[in-house]
Amino acid sequence: MSTPDDNEYRQARLAKLERLREAGVNPYPERYERTCMLARARELDDGTEGVRVAGRVMTARVMGKLSFLTLQDQSGRMQVSVRQDDVGKEDYKVIKKLLDIGDFLGIHGDVYTTRTGEKTVAARDFTFLGKTLRPLPEKWHGISDKESCYRQRYLDLLMNRETMDRFLLRSRLIRTMRSLLEAEGFIEVETPVLQTKASGAAARPFKSHHNALDMPIYLRIAPETWLKRCIVGGFDKVFEFARCFRNEGMDPSHLQDFTMLEYYCAYWNYEDNMAFTEKLIQTVLRDLFGTLELEIQGETIDFGGTWPRVTFREMILEDCGIDIDAHETADALREAILAQGIQLEDADRLGRGNLIDHLYKAVSRPKLKAPTFITKHPIDLSPLARRNDDNPRVADRFQLVVNGWEVVNAYSELVDPIDQRRRLEEQSQLKSGGDEEAMEMDEDYLLAMEHGMPPISGWGMGIDRFCALITNQPNLRDVVLFPLMKPVE
């Protein structure tokens, strides 16, 4: 992505680099001790002495014997002034002749306010902290092209303060959720990324090969079955922020590698879990924003109060006139879908469960704006969820949907190993019949189950998706620091 102009600038800066060394200046020193970040320095009283700040030079007004520079660090920007009479003639030449926008400086000096009202650090001395060899984007336009923002996120972070703030908020989001879960007695654990079975969700996996053990392996699609093994082992409440991988299509609300928060709680059912989900998300939003009303894609969405609950069957029946309970096989359901003139991709290869899921995503999910719990999913769409005691054709399961995006997926977990084996056998048959999203048989997980499980309810949230939603970003890549991109050849 270099241009001829970039290469010309680079050569000029390489020449300055050599001149710095010739002048006895180390252009890449080991460290610099600062007393505060720039945002904190801006709050100091005039006359505060001996302040040490550091950052990247973003603007420079270099004059005869006085220069004003703007430094930037993670916390923000602040002006510093460098006067020849204070730092000495030879050192001032470094500022006049060898400094470029983008270089790093450390400033040791005193705080004052200029006549124009700008809080400033007047340098007693300065330290050169890093020479940049390429120019930053033009200051007035910054970096706005989306592909460039994704490919060179470091420039996006430097030039667009709202990008930095968004990723700082993402960090706060994870920290807040972690502390809330820990306060409720949940224990954070880690589970394998490399697995012998693609288990834990219905999705197409990434497949690789383990050379040392000479066997095929999969990147995990979810940590679910491993977290439930922890419950077998005696943990009551566990959670993990897990990097997951699904070798499927891309769109604004899906990426192939993403961060999932999953937790599992012994002795809860899915209704306990729904109540906790509402409390958890409302607490997080209040902490991050101080309000439960957020602007999302041009609409004000209120996360307050008790969120509506609607069953899967009721929703699809209302939205397209198809009663899924009246069609007990995939073939019968396909005929009903075609009769309504609804076109679904790969419909001829999908089992009944995934067929229902694709139908829901086509006719119902896009209409859901306010936070809504979808309950009572068909059992063949939920191979790891518990059957409802009153209606064995549906699962004790819920999803939270906001603005057409699935935010949370949760179950009363299936803890009956006989029922689990039967369902995994059905999934395995669907997979051998061409349904690439169906799950495989997992004997090791079944072995764990046969050692006994208490009642459990579990939960999964795509952190990227939730963060994009609450920061009003249309694409998950806007909240992922370095999303995967095709190389520029």
For the record, the structure tokens of 381 come out as 């769409």
| Cβ atoms of residues 462 and 252 within 8 Å | no
Interhelix angle 463-470/270-289, rounded to 10 degrees, is 50
Beta-bridge partner residues of 113? 119
| Cβ atoms of residues 387 and 419 within 8 Å | yes
Cα–Cα distance for residue pair 476/255, rounded to 1 Å: 7
489 band by pLDDT with thresholds 50, 70 and 90: confident
Q: Where are the domains of the chain?
A: 4-136, 159-308+370-479
Mode of pairing for the β-strands spanning 119-130 and 76-83 = parallel
Cα–Cα distance for residue pair 344/346, rounded to 1 Å: 6
pTM of the model: 0.89
What is 34-88 written as a DSSP string?
-SS-HHHHTTSPTT--SEEEEEEEEEEEE-SSEEEEEEEETTEEEEEEEEHHHH-
2 band by pLDDT with thresholds 50, 70 and 90: low
Please determine, looking at this structure, whether the domain spanning 4-136 carries the CATH number 3.40.50.2000.
no
pLDDT reported for residue 348 = 85
**pLDDT tens digit sequence for 185-223:** 999 999 999 999 888 777 889 999 999 999 999 999 999
Q: Is the pLDDT of residue 157 over 60?
A: yes
Is 465 buried (19+), middle (13-18) or exposed (0-12) by CB count in 10 A?
buried
Is 183 buried (19+), middle (13-18) or exposed (0-12) by CB count in 10 A?
exposed
pLDDT reported for residue 351 = 84
Please determine, looking at this structure, whether the domain spanning 159-308+370-479 carries the CATH number 3.30.930.10.
yes
For the record, the structure tokens of 43 come out as 């709050």
Q: How far is CA 73 from the centre of its chain?
A: 23
**pLDDT tens digit sequence for 261-276:** 999 999 999 999 999 9
